[in-house]
Amino acid sequence: MLEVRELVKHYAAPGGETVRAIDGVSMHVDRGELVALYGPSGSGKSTLLKLIAAMLTPDSGAVYVAGRNVSALSARDAAQYRRREMGFVRQEIEVMDGASALDNATLKLLDNRTGWRRARKQVTPLLIELGLKDRLRHRAEQLSVGERQRVLIARALSTKPSLVLADEPTGSLDGERSHEVLRLLTRLCREHEVAMLLVTHDPQAAAYATRVHELRDGRLREYSPERAPALPQS
């Protein structure tokens, strides 16, 4: 489903230096798989996600989604690819205060020109599946951090994307909530046949992932649990 081939992205830094942000990365994620990507700050995670989301053009190599080279899309087609084929789950701050959980979850469908009524009808079962049945009409600021995160997951899945990129989705959650979200993501991934790439610092994610990669200085390394942050003692 997602195939990253020999991807290279270097930045020109002040002083004429070159930052090798992504330096020859190849990987793949199949439908129904959740692949975790660990990496310290500055290792190139955001750059890799932006390349996969066609928000950046690689210096060389390419990203294929369902066999299509998304690195070669025009800006307009890239925007359409992001709206229709891809879901992005980021930090829960992207939930809009003042709007209900339901309306927040419809935003991506509205962006895709789905009518307001139909959008609400489409996301309701998803929100229920995510355990928010009794929170549909609560305003975002009345939701817990974990609930806001689940609204974002519903929004990302609302357009039935084949690929979901999750950037630190458990970053602001405590241990138990983080387990809950990871469990949910794994299940949704399997049941909705989505290919999911999860960028995380959360050591718990490895237990839920089909495969785990580690990014260091723009290159994929074999994942070593010893280098990952320690699991909390239970």
Of 90 and 177, nearer to ligand ATP (C-beta) is 90
Q: Which residues contact 49 (CB under 8 A, 6 or more apart)?
A: 165, 167, 197, 199
Q: Count residues binding ligand ATP (CB under 6 A).
A: 12
Of 13 and 128, nearer to ligand ATP (C-beta) is 13
**Matching residue, tokens 């357009």:** 159
- Out of 1, 43, 149, 156, the residue judged to bind ligand ATP by CB under 6 A: 43
Of 32 and 203, nearer to ligand ATP (C-beta) is 203
226 to 43, 95, 218, 229: CA distances (angstroms): 18, 35, 20, 8
Please report, as residue ranges, which positions from 46 to 85 form the binding site for ligand ATP (by CB under 6 A).
Answer: 46-47
From the centroid of its chain, how far is CA 210?
15
195-199 and 163-167: which strand pairing? parallel
CA pair distance 30, 194, nearest whole angstrom: 8
Q: In what order do the strands lie in the sheet with 2-12?
A: 18-29, 2-12, 60-65, 68-69
Letters for 2-41 (x = contact with ligand ATP by CB under 6 A, - = none) are ---------x-x-----x-x-----------------x-x
**Minimum distance of ligand ATP from residue 20's CB (angstroms):** 8
Residue 115 · residue 93 · CB < 8 Å: no
Of 32 and 171, nearer to ligand ATP (C-beta) is 171
- Out of 6, 26, 30, 42, the residue judged to bind ligand ATP by CB under 6 A: 42
> What residues line the site for ligand ATP (CB under 6 A)?
11, 13, 19, 21, 39, 41-47
